[in-house]
Amino acid sequence: MPAGSSTLYEKRKGVYPKAVDGFYRRLKWAIMAVTLAIYWGTPWLRWDRGPYAPDQAVLIDLAHRRFYLFAIEIWPHEFYYVAGLLIMAGIGLFLVTSAVGRAWCGYACPQTVWTDLYQHVERFIDGDRNAQIKLAKAPWSVAKLTRRLTKWGVWLAIAFATGGAWIFYFADAPTLLHDVWAGSAAPVAYATMAVLTATTLLLGGFMREQVCIYMCPWPRIQTAMLDEKSLVVTYKDWRGEQRGSVKKAQASPDLFGDCIDCNQCVAVCPTGIDIREGPQVGCITCALCIDACDKVMRQVGRQRGLIDYCTQEDVEAEKQGAPPRRALKTLLRPRTLAYAAVWLSIGAAMLFALGARTRIDIAAQQDRNPIFVRLSDGAIRNAYMVKVRNMEARPRPVTVAIEGLPDAMLWTDAMPREQAMATVTATVPADSVAKLRLFIAAPAPGPQRQDFAFTVRATDREGGGDSEPARFERP
């Protein structure tokens, strides 16, 4: 390390992004509106599931271990669907990254969305960039304190709304809202609200771009996934350099490039970097500098796109004199198509599995101690704990039978052996597991280990069933 530039610690430089308007800014507004609406609105959507199940469209019911997603209900043993969703989310990020670079960071990441919201509040209360800088430098006064308190107050309100909304995904939202205000909600609900309110305030209000640059692992991963065909926000230095004011350029046009060194791109950047230094990890590709520079170019009558979404390949081509390529054209290429294919096939497979899954299911566990019991008439008895799972939100009558065990009889611990039959009937309550302790007696002569199957069949109109292999053992 060279002497002089020695410290490993850098004090944060204030970032006061300037308001900007343009295509990408509007896109960002739209995405912010949609994502926030989804976040705050989802728990309030209703979905009728009948009298035995909650009517909240999206509900993670930890207490009863159910996950409801509109028409889909997921039980803990079906957690692979959630794993599948996570895999899809992962591959989806690969897809998005290989197609449009760090678009997640720039538009949809909650850190970006909330920071954007907070910065907007900040501009609303403190004024735009210059006013903010001035206020930051000003000594503490009543006026400054009032402004600060107002701003922090609004931030806190947003943070509270954010942290508060989270818990509604885990319980019936209207009931919980009432309970929260009445002070009768579970302590964990208040703790969650408190923690999320604090983190929202801290991450969105004060840490902001430092989260992206120092804390978040995703930029590193994404940087590794970018290739020469990925879209990144690029300052076209071959076009922009040598920088110089309009006046200077008029004086000696051959010397200067298109960049008028107005610093607008730096002023609007929410992470406070200068894109003209080249691609860097601090750039979340929010494209606000594109909007800013396009406006400048329009004002000075030069072609737009001095800063633009651009791939490394395009950079090379354009340096050789090729015309700029439309950004969208880079989307279709083998890598993105391959990701899209994988993503879609996982989605299709999951949809198929969801459609084909039976909502009734049987599992059997044989008693191991003792494995078999000799009865007084010489027959051999094995005992099993049989669980019949009814995943529908209504009670269902079922018949449990055995297949592949000739001359065997079946009875439960609730009836005497004299009533043993070939099948046992039961009604499984809505959305729950019925446990049946089943005894099977079969004649003693026979193989020491005999494989057979328990079957369950719903005897209502909808029908459906399942079977489970089991084993009968003799001395």
Partner 1 sequence: MADGQDKNIDATTGTELKGHEWDGIAELDTPLPRWWLWTFYATIIFAIGYVIAYPAIPMLHDYTRGMMGWSSRGALAKELAAREAEIAPLRRAIADTAITDLPGKPQLMQAAVEGGRAAFKVHCVQCHGSGAAGAKGYPNLNDDDWLWGGDLATIEKTITDGVRNPNHDATRVSMMPAFGRDQLLTGAQVNDVVAHVRVISRQDRPSAASQRGAKLFADNCAVCHGPDGKGTRALGAPNLTDGIWLYGGDTDTIHETVWNSRQGVMPRWDDKLDKATIRMLATYVHSLGGGEATLVEAGNGVE
CA 181 from chain centre, in angstroms, equals: 29
Measured from the Cβ of residue 458, the count of other Cβ atoms closer than 10 Å reads: 21
Binding residue for partner 1, selected from 58, 373, 409, 433, defined by CB under 8 A:
373
Counting contacts by CB under 6 A, is residue 263 touching ligand SF4?
yes
Give, to the nearest 10 degrees, the angle between helix 80-100 and helix 218-225: 60
Give the x/- contact pattern for partner 1 in 115-144, rule: CB under 8 A: ------------------------------
CA dihedral 317, 323, 328, 330 (to 10 degrees): -20
Whether the Cβ atoms of residue 70 and residue 49 lie closer than 8 Å to each other: no
Counting contacts by CB under 6 A, is residue 103 touching ligand SF4?
no
CA distance 382 to 376: 14
| Residue 241 binds which of partner 1, ligand SF4, none (CB < 5-8 A, kind-dependent) | none
Binding residue for partner 1, selected from 355, 416, 445, 447, defined by CB under 8 A:
416
The single residue listed with the structure tokens 């599992």 is 363
b vs e for 207-230, b when ≥16 Cβ sit within 10 Å of the residue's Cβ? bbbebbbeebebbeebeeebeebb
Counting contacts by CB under 6 A, is residue 232 touching ligand SF4?
no
Binding residue for ligand SF4, selected from 53, 95, 176, 287, defined by CB under 6 A:
287
Give the x/- contact pattern for partner 1 in 376-395, rule: CB under 8 A: xxxx-x-x------------
Counting contacts by CB under 8 A, is residue 10 touching partner 1?
no
Pick 20 or 440: Cβ nearer partner 1: 440
Binding residue for ligand SF4, selected from 176, 283, 405, 441, defined by CB under 6 A:
283
Whether the Cβ atoms of residue 473 and residue 373 lie closer than 8 Å to each other: no
Counting contacts by CB under 8 A, is residue 369 touching partner 1?
yes
Counting contacts by CB under 8 A, is residue 225 touching partner 1?
no
Q: What's the one-letter identity of residue 11?
A: K
Pairing of strands 380-390, 373-374: antiparallel
Helix, strand, coil share of the chain (percent; to 5) = 45, 20, 35
CA 307 from chain centre, in angstroms, equals: 31
Binding residue for ligand SF4, selected from 179, 261, 367, 468, defined by CB under 6 A:
261
| Residue 57 binds which of ligand SF4, partner 1, none (CB < 5-8 A, kind-dependent) | none
Counting contacts by CB under 8 A, is residue 421 touching partner 1?
no
Counting contacts by CB under 8 A, is residue 9 touching partner 1?
no
Tokens of 379: 């027959």
Q: HSE, CB side, 13 Å, CA atoms: give it for residue 217.
A: 0
Residues 435-474 that bind partner 1 (CB under 8 A): 439, 444
Give the x/- contact pattern for ligand SF4 in 299-318, rule: CB under 6 A: -------xx-----------
CA distance 469 to 475: 20
Query: In the bound complex, what is the minimum distance in angstroms from residue 292's beta carbon to ligand SF4?
Result: 5
Nearest Cα residue to 48 out of 77, 66, 73, 65: 73
Q: Which residues bind partner 1 (CB under 8 A)?
A: 1, 3, 6, 367-370, 373-379, 381, 383, 413, 416-417, 439, 444
Q: Which residues bind ligand SF4 (CB under 6 A)?
A: 233, 235, 240, 259-265, 268-271, 273, 275-276, 283-289, 292-293, 296, 306-307
